[in-house]
Amino acid sequence: MAAISVDLIISAQWTIPVIPKGAVFEDCSVVIDQGNIVAILPTTEATRKYIALEHTELPNHVLIPGLINAHGHAAMTLLRGYADDQPLQNWLEKHIWPAEQQWVGEDFVRDGTELAIAEMIRSGTSCFSDMYFFPDYAAEAASHSGIRSQIAFPVFDFPSAWGRGPEDYIHKGLQLRDDYKDRDLTRIAFGPHAPYTLSNGPLETIATYAEELDSHVQIHLHETAIEVANSIKEHGVRPIQRLVELGLLSPRTQCVHMTQLDEQDISTLVEHNAHVVHCPESNLKLASGFCPVTTLLDSGINVALGTDGAASNNNLDMFGEMSTAALVAKAVSGNAGAVDAHTALQMATINGAKAMGWEDQIGSIEAGKSADLAAITLGTIESEPLYNPASQLLYTNAGSRVSHLWVNGAALMIERQLQTLNEQEVLTKAKQWQRKIAHNR
C-alpha cells in the first residue's frame, strides 16, 4: 500500500490528547494535512502509512492541545506592573482608568495586543478571548500573528476613545463581525463589560442580537461582593438574576470571574447552561474572592480558564493559571483530590473551546479537529524524574519550557523562536510605551 502524502507529522515522546480524559500516549504521532488532524497513531505506524512534507520529531517533549485563554484584555499588557497590590475599585479608578484615558488608542491596542500574543504563544496558548477598546486593532493583530481568537468587542454606558456610547459600540462591533465573518481563526463576540457598567437598554439589545445572530457573549459577572451588594441595592436582584430577566443568560454566555455565588446563582447557571470563565490569579491578586470551582464542576457547569489582563495578574501564562486553579480548588474545597492535573488541563483546553462554541474544531487532539498544538520540553532539571507527564505540566512551571506552537497546522513558534511576530520589534515597542507612560505619570 502506497504511503499517503500529508503536510506534517509531529512525533512526540508523550501526547496528552485531553479527550479521552486522562489518556497519555507514548511514542505517538499526530498526522496533519491542510491544517487538520488526520490521525493520531503509534509513530512506527505513522511513518509507514504517511509520507509528510515535514516531520517534526520531539523526542523529549509532551504534545498537548494548544491552550485556550478564555478571558483577557491583551493590550493591557502595556500596563503590566503599573499598579500592584491595590483592591479592585482603587486599582481601576485611581490607576488603570486614568492611564487608559490618557493612552488608549489604535497604536496602544495594536502594540499591546502584539506583546500579549507573543507572550501567549511563548507559553503555549493557541487561542485567546479578548475584550478591549479598539477591538478592530486587536483582531488585526491576532489575525496577522496567526493565533486563534475570540474578540469580544466591549460595550458600556460611558463614552471612550473608541466610541460615543452603547449604540456606537454595538454598531462598530457588528461592523467588525461582518468584516470577519469569513475568517476561520477570528470570531467576533459581544463583550458587555459588566452589569454595573451597563443599563438595561443596551443589555437587552445585546441579548436580542446575540440570539438572532447566534453569537457568543462574554461578561464580567459576580467579580466582587460589592458588585453583588450594589446590584441588590440598585436593581433589587443579584446581577446574574438581572441578566436572566434581560434575556442575556444562555448557553452562549461566558460569565467571567463568578467569585460570589450562592446556591441559587449556581442553579441559575445550570438551568441556563451558561459557562463560567475562572481567572484565579486575578481574583487572588485583587482579593476579589474564591470561585467555587469544584462545586461548579460537580454541578455539571462548564468551567473554562483565563488569565485576565496582565495588569492584574501580571502574566499571561496559562500553565501558571492551571496550577493556581488546581492548588486553590484543593484548598477551597478541602479536598486534595479536587481539580487534578487532567481536570485542570481540560479547563485550559476543551472547556475553553466549549465556552466559545468551538469544541467541534479545537480543545483536544482528535482526528478531524484543527491542528492547534503545543509542545513542552521535558528532561530538564525541573522536570525530572518523570513519573507522570500531566503532573509535570501542572506543577513544575512548564510555561517557560514550551518549545513549539501550531495553529491550524501552521507553526507560530519553533524551538522558542517566534515565526509570525518579530520579537525584537515587539520588545522595542513595549520599551517605548513604558518610557512614555512612566515619564508622563
With respect to its own copies, which residue has the nearer C-beta, 182 or 424? 424
Torsion of CA 372, 219, 248, 353, to 10 degrees: 10
CA distance 12 to 28: 6
DSSP character string of 274-319: -EEEE-HHHHHHTT-----HHHHHHTT--EEE----GGGTS---HH
Contact between 258 and its own copies (CB under 8 A)? Answer: no
The DSSP letter of residue 16 is -
Residues 77-106 that bind its own copies (CB under 8 A): 78, 80-82, 84-88, 90-91
Q: Considering the rule CB under 8 A, would residue 290 count as an interface residue with its own copies? A: yes
Judged by CB under 8 A, does residue 315 bind its own copies?
yes
Does residue number 115 form part of the binding site for its own copies (CB under 8 A)? yes
Give the chain's count of helices (H) and strands (E).
Answer: 17, 16
The beta strands (E) that lie in 193-241 are given as 217-221
Residue 143 contacts its own copies per CB under 8 A: no
- Asked if 415 is part of the footprint of its own copies (rule: CB under 8 A), the reply reads no
Q: Toward its own copies, which CB reaches closer, 88 or 365?
A: 88
Kindly indicate which of the ranges 188-196, 240-248, 320-328, 348-356 contains the residues binding its own copies, using the contact rule CB under 8 A. 320-328
Respond yes or no on whether the N-terminal peptide bond of residue 314 is cis (omega within 30° of 0).
Answer: yes
Enumerate residues 6+ apart whose C-beta is below 8 A from 298. Answer: none
Options 54-62, 113-121, 239-247, 297-305: segment touching its own copies (CB under 8 A): 113-121
Q: What sign does the CA torsion over 248, 329, 61, 13 have?
A: negative
Closest to its own copies by CB, 33 or 281: 281
Chain positions 259 to 288 lying near its own copies, rule: CB under 8 A, are: 281, 283-288
Number of chain residues interacting with its own copies (CB under 8 A): 71
Specify the stretch interacting with its own copies by CB under 8 A; choose among 173-181, 263-271, 358-366, 429-437.
429-437
> Is 340 near its own copies (CB under 8 A)?
yes
Of 25-33, 40-48, 211-219, 321-329, the window that binds its own copies (rule: CB under 8 A) is: 321-329
- Please give the Cα distance from 281 to 80 (Å, whole number): 14
Q: Which residue has the cell 476579589?
A: 288
Burial class (CB in 10 A: 0-12, 13-18, 19+), 402: buried
Closest contact distance (angstroms) between CB of 246 and its own copies is: 30
In angstroms, give the least distance from the CB of 274 to its own copies: 24
Show contacts with its own copies in window 369-408 (CB under 8 A).
379-382, 384-388, 391-392, 394-397, 399-401
Q: If binding is defined by CB under 8 A, does position 59 make contact with its own copies? A: no
Q: For residue 276, what are the CA distances in angstroms to 355, 427, 441?
A: 8, 33, 36
Among 97, 331, 360, 368, binds its own copies (CB under 8 A): 331
CB 201 within 8 A of CB 233: no
Shortest approach of its own copies to residue 220 CB, angstroms?
Answer: 17
- Cβ proximity to its own copies: between 184 and 384 the closer is 384
**Should residue 132 be labelled a site residue for its own copies when binding is judged by CB under 8 A?**
no
Which C-beta is closer to its own copies: that of 353 or that of 394?
394
Phi, psi (deg, nearest 5) at residue 209: -60, -45
Q: Kindly tell me which residue out of 199, 267, 335, 422 binds its own copies, with binding defined by CB under 8 A.
A: 335
